[in-house]
Structure 1
Amino acid sequence: MRRLRRLPLLSPRQWRRRLIFWLGAVLVGLVAVAFAWLADGAQHLFLRAVSYEPLLVFILAPAGLALSLALTRWFFPGAQGSGIPQVIAALHEPDPQRVGALLTLRIAAGKVLLTLLGLASGASIGREGPTVQVGASIMHALGRWQGLPRPETIRIMVLAGGAAGVAAAFNTPLAGLVFGIEELSHSLRVRTGSLTLTAVVIAGITAILAVGDYVYFGVSHATLDVGPGWLAVGLCGVAGGLLGGGFSSTLLHLPRAFPKVVSRFAARRPAAFAACCGLVIATIGWASGGTSYGTGYEQARMLVEGKAGLPDSFMVWKLLATVASYLSGIPGGIFAPSLSIGAGLGQWLSALVPHAPAAAVVLLGMVGYFAGVVQAPITAAVIVMEMTGNHALMVPLMATSLLAFLVSRLVCRRPLYSSLAKRFLGH
């Protein structure tokens, strides 16, 4: 009986750990669904307010961003930004205490609340990056509660929680698995891969049971035959790599290029600086007709489905608003805004490639820009394919993503998330 109890399939201890792991995946799925619902509500609340009185944005945006940053610094330090760099730092931090400081449930709660505040203030941010940190924090807390002795086991749970967060946020299980391996862990290990896959599947099933099966950006049936239309692959790959790499390089290096007066002002009065960023966001929103606010989900879906109504300048306004939102220091991700910017890039480039269907060029622009920003080509191709349900474009998407990745490395030598993660290591 003792020997039988030591077998992995019969060990009570192993089964207890499995149940805790599965419970964590279910919780990640439920939290991701609730977060998505609340984020949509916060964004709609803001849009209703500014539709009633457009000038109200010049009050809501500065005040909301200043309050968000003040609460971040006072009560939720470590919740700023996307959340993905914190998870990467936690996976590579050798000190368990520092890992715990990056992934507390308090930070996770603050991440959700302050991201909602940012969306209710008109900031150009997304909820997907924060969902990664929230998922990793939930799994880390369960691992600590379980009393897992090995730091390596805790890291596996953190990785699985982050990947499950992506899968549940986008309803993209394959992209969640690839993201965990390619972007978070930077390595493939059999045990890690199997546990991550389990968490992704459970979280994905939980999200589907809660809201039903759906395709994030709607189903796209666009195709791209071999021929002159493939010029769009090279065009979107190069343009997406240059623009996405330039965006990442801007986020990394622009604060250092500020004049000394601006740098001192941002350091001494961060909330006031965030309010100034809010004024910039309000001005951009006013100039763009309100298309630059929020996640950009509605605009990207319009472009994917081929609906008219968005100006060609949407991409520029959305990019500027996303840069201003990030520089403010408030919690919020760049996943969804980057995808919408990429869709706008594809819309603009479609006029230069008349032999390619405009709907296909929109998807190629989306994957090209996103791959240029995150420098994770497999994740970019898979996530766009799953979010649009378009398997026919898989080869052009992969080719565009790889080309954009190579071009982006010429502009920004180090990946954005990995570079930001180094700022959290040792803090």
Structure 2
Amino acid sequence: MNPLPPSLSDQTLRQVRRAWRKYGILWMGAVLVGLVAVLYAWLMDVGFGMFRSMQQSHFWLPLFITPAVGALCVWATRRYFPGAEGSGIPQVIATLEEDTTRRGQSLLSIKLLLGKIGVSFIGILGGFTIGREGPTVQVGAALMFNLRRLYPRASAALERRLILAGAAAGLSAAFNTPLAGIVFAIEELTRSFEHRASGVVITVIIFAGAVALGLNGNYTYFGTIHINSALTDMLALAVLVTGILTGIAGGFFCWLLLNTKRWIPARLQHLRSNRPIAFGALCGLAVALIGIIAGGATFGSGYVEAKGLLEGHQQLSVFYPFLKMASMVSSYLPGIPGGIFAPSLSIGAGFGNLLHQVFGNTSLEMLIALAMVGYLAAVTQSPITAFVIVMEMINGHALVISLMATALIASRVSRFFAPPLYDALSERYRVACAEAMPANAEIEQMKLKEVGEVKEVKELNNEQNSDSELGSGTQK
């Protein structure tokens, strides 16, 4: 058999390399995001299960364990993983806005990814009110961002597309809500949608979601709710009241996080600034005390409590949403890695349970769904993302209009109290990165700015010629 002519062999090799850059890297990254999201979810479930077993056996143990875990998490985060604190979504927003390469190297490194997962696991071992969904967004963005090394030349436009796709896929895999991943990328992360990024985002979401479905099966996050149309006579009033109540509560929560100097006593402010590890222990003690007062209901993300309410086998006090909110504030203040998506949904479920005392003839499941979307929309001030997430996680297509209206009302009410939470928090990372920039790097950046835009336009034109559909970002 005669070997292929050298020209044909070289052409085939070039086609294989081009296909790898155009499709293979994205597919590999998407599969990796799905695998890590499933592993992270399993790890957090195991961690909270261990804490719950301990807490149910000895209700007083959190008084010692939770402060110790709080101190350990703060020490580890500040010492080894600065940038891993909180949910991770503000870090992604800050990286997408400008200076993507340098900020990505600081906020989306593999080291930070491992720290995010590891320290949040330790945090849930202590019963802190944190979720995994927000961190999964940062983890997905970090995984995709670091794949830029596999491209011959990585432009800023390519890096932004990879980060955007990874973040959207992370949210989609965490909640099993593919539509919400797309909407989240548009509404929360970029406030716009580049045409060439759409194919990348959808491709990564599909593959990451397929991996998560293959490992977890086809499921909805909170199951399926069934609404009896005969019980919806008061629906319009319920939507209005729920939107206003959750908007006030969510807006007040945002105000607390963004205005700590206006309500935390001076001594505690000093402790937070100068002895953050001790402050972390003190916050852990607050979480433990609140949890004991609530009979253990406020520990963890709140997923179990919200799902139990929806399924009708969980009984919670009318004070639950307020205690859960206090626990979430105490968990967020010291900077422990962990998200606020799932706790916000749990708080919303608690408000739905509270409203059922007023609207007794209205379906409890419907009120819980409305309150969940309202509180989440109030906290994020992203009403479209909020109602799509809740609609997909409860399979609640029959409530689409009601969910949309509640989300819109709550987000508008929330704006009277505070600006969008994630945008405000991302500003801190933009300032921190700017202050950390060496003087010579800043001068160099100014020199390159004039030619950078022209160069990027040329690179994008080359990309469009070679990769018109997905846009791999390789340069010819």
Q: When the two structures are superposed, what TM-score results if normalisation uses the length of structure 2?
A: 0.86
The one of 32, 35, 57 aligned to 1:30:
35
Give 2:165's match in structure 1, choosing from 137, 160, 163.
Answer: 160
Q: Bigger CA drift: 85-94 or 307-316?
A: 307-316
Out of 237, 245, 255, the residue aligned to residue 249 of structure 1 is 255
Match 2:115 to one of 110, 113, 118: 110
Q: Which of 231, 236, 240 pairs up with 2:242?
A: 236
Task: Tell me, yes or no, if structure 1 residue 383 matches structure 2 residue 369.
Answer: no
Q: Shift of the alpha carbon at 1:259?
A: 2.9
Contact 2:386 2:407 in 1 (8 A): yes
Q: Does 1:283 align with 2:289?
A: yes
Provide, for residues 18-72 of structure 1, a one-character-per-residue CA deviation record: whole Å limited to 9, x for no partner.
2111111110000000000010000000011111211111111000010011000
- Paired with 2:267 and 2:229, the residues of 1 have a C-alpha distance of 51
Distance 1:229 1:183 in 2: 29
Name the counterpart of 1:305: 311
Aligned with residue 360 of structure 1, among 361, 366, 378:
366
Q: Percent identity?
A: 45
Using the alignment, how far apart are the partners of 1:45 and 1:255 within structure 2? 36
1:76 aligns with 2:90: no
Does 2:140 correspond to 1:135? yes
In the other structure, the counterpart of 1:194 is: 199
Quote the Cα distance in structure 2 between the aligned partners of 1:322 and 1:223: 33
Match of 1:421 among 420, 423, 426: 426
Question: Is 1:270–2:276 an aligned residue pair?
Answer: yes
Cα pair distance change 1:14/1:301, threshold 3 Å: same
CA contact (8 A) 1:224 1:230 kept: no
How far apart, CA to CA, are the structure 1 residues paired with 2:150 and 2:267?
Answer: 47
Among 100, 105, 114, the residue aligned to 1:100: 105
Deviations 1:126-179 (A, max 9, x none): 001110000000000111343442111111100000000001011111111111
Q: Do the aligned residues in 2 keep the contact of 1:224 with 1:357 (CA within 8 Å)?
A: no
- 8 Å contact from structure 2 (residues 183, 385) kept in 1: yes
Counterpart contact for 1:171–1:387, Cα < 8 Å:
yes
Residues 256 and 72 (structure 1), Cα distance of their counterparts in 2 relative to 1, 3 Å cut: farther
Rounded Cα–Cα distance in structure 2 between residues aligned with 1:147 and 1:281? 49
Paired with 1:70 and 1:84, the residues of 2 have a C-alpha distance of 22
SS of structure 1 residue aligned to 2:360: coil
Please give the alpha-carbon distance, in whole angstroms, between the structure 2 residues aligned to 1:351 and 1:366: 16
1:224, 1:393 within 8 Å by CA — same for their partners in 2? no
TM-score of the aligned structures, taking structure 1 as reference length: 0.95
Offset of residue 10 of structure 1:
5.7
**Which has the higher mean CA deviation after the structures are superposed, 146-155 or 388-397?**
146-155
Give the distance between the partners of 1:252 and 1:206, measured in 2 at CA.
37
Contact kept in structure 2, 1:39 and 1:116, CA below 8 Å: yes
Deviation at 1:374, TM superposition (A): 0.4
Question: Using the alignment, how far apart are the partners of 2:152 and 2:381 within structure 1?
Answer: 36
Q: Is 1:56 equivalent to 2:57 in the alignment?
A: no
Is the CA contact (8 Å cut-off) linking 1:223 and 1:392 kept in structure 2? no
> 1:344 aligned to 2:355?
no
| Runs of 5+ consecutive residues of structure 1 not aligned to the other structure | none
Structure 2: gaps spanning 5 or more residues: 1-6, 434-476
Contact 1:164/1:203 (8 A) holds in 2 = yes
Alignment partner, residue 227 of structure 2: 222
Match runs of 1:159-178 below 5 Å: 159-178=164-183
Inter-partner Cα distance in structure 2 for 1:292 and 1:231: 29
Residue 223 of structure 1 and its aligned partner are, at CA, apart by 4.9
State the match for 2:453 in structure 1: none
- Structure 1 residue corresponding to 2:44, chosen from 17, 39, 42: 39
Alpha-carbon distance in 1 for matches of 2:345, 2:229: 20
Kindly provide the CA deviation profile for residues 350-402 of structure 1, in whole angstroms up to 9, marking residues without a partner as x.
Answer: 22223421211110011011100000001100100111111111110011111
Task: Answer with 21-30 or 346-355: which moved more.
Answer: 346-355
Q: Is the 8 A contact 1:148 1:154 kept in 2?
A: no
The answer to which of 169-178 and 254-263 deviates more is: 254-263
Query: How far apart in 1 are the matches of 2:195 and 2:311?
Result: 39
Counterpart mapping for 1:312-331 below 5 A: 312-331=318-337
The one-letter code sitting in structure 2 at the alignment partner of 1:151 is A
1:65 is matched by which residue type in structure 2? G
Could you list the structure 1 runs, at least 4 aligned residues long, displaced by more than 6 angstroms after superposition.
Answer: none
* 1:255 positional shift: 4.0
Q: Which structure has the larger Rg over C-alpha atoms? A: 2
| Alignment partner of 1:371 is 2:406 | no
1:411 is matched with: 417
Q: For 1:40 and 1:255, how far apart are their aligned partners in 2?
A: 34
Q: In structure 2, give the amino acid aligned to 1:90.
A: T
Partner AA of 1:128 in structure 2? E
AA at the equivalent of 1:74: R
Q: Which moved more, 1:146-155 or 1:216-225?
A: 216-225
- Give distance in 2, aligned partners of 1:158 and 1:44: 32
Asked whether the 8 Å contact 2:141–2:164 carries over to 1, the reply is yes
Cα distance between partner residues in 2 of 1:103 and 1:279: 31
Offset of residue 96 of structure 1: 1.8
Moved more, 182-191 or 77-86: 182-191
